[in-house]
Amino acid sequence: MNANPTQQSTSTTSTLPVVRAADLEDPDHDNHWLVDPLLPRRGVAMIGGAPKCAKSWAGLDLALSVASGTPCFGKFPVVEPAPTLIYLAEDPADVVKARLSGICRHRGLDLAALPIDVITVPVLRLDIERDRRRLSETVRACRPRLLLLDPFVRLHRINENDAGEVSALLAYLRELE
């Protein structure tokens, strides 16, 4: 949370910073969406559904839309085109390119002209500190507005039924944002 603190605690104890509610930043309602009203500009979003129901295709459409400024799914406007970074854990690079090229052909776009980068490492595990550091550095270097990581189940070996383990992984993704 960002704030313009006017009355911060100056105590030498280990208190938490405090700001009067009226001094918190006002929400930016005009700049809330990356893809209106599908994808917020800030935060972590997930696409969920049954196996083989086109979640990866939906993610690629979102990424290509953000990179090109074209409407997502032909309907939802991109507020501000921006670079995207993609990692598809289940698909080799040539399949990723073929899928993106197909969507580009359909929209009349040139894939080579779009700011889309693809992470090509064979395995990325967000439950391993070394991989988290490498992803953080890659995001810092590429500065994407959208990071597509697909599928979630291939990015870790945590117990998805353990809220504590999932919460820690989602906390990392929020920090990455």
Judge whether residue 98 has pLDDT over 50.
Answer: yes
pTM of the model: 0.82
Q: Could you give the CA distance from residue 122 to residue 79 in angstroms, rounded to a whole number?
A: 33
Instruction: Give, for 103, the enclosing helix (H) or strand (E).
Output: helix 93-107
Instruction: Please tell me whether residue 38 adopts helix, strand or coil conformation.
Output: coil
- Burial bucket for residue 62 (CB in 10 Å: 0-12, 13-18, 19+): buried
Residue 12 pLDDT: 59
Report pLDDT digits (tens) over 121-151: 999 999 999 999 999 999 999 999 999 999 9
List the chain domain ranges.
42-176
Of the given ranges (17-31, 69-83, 148-162), which has the lowest mean pLDDT? 17-31
Residue 94 pLDDT: 95
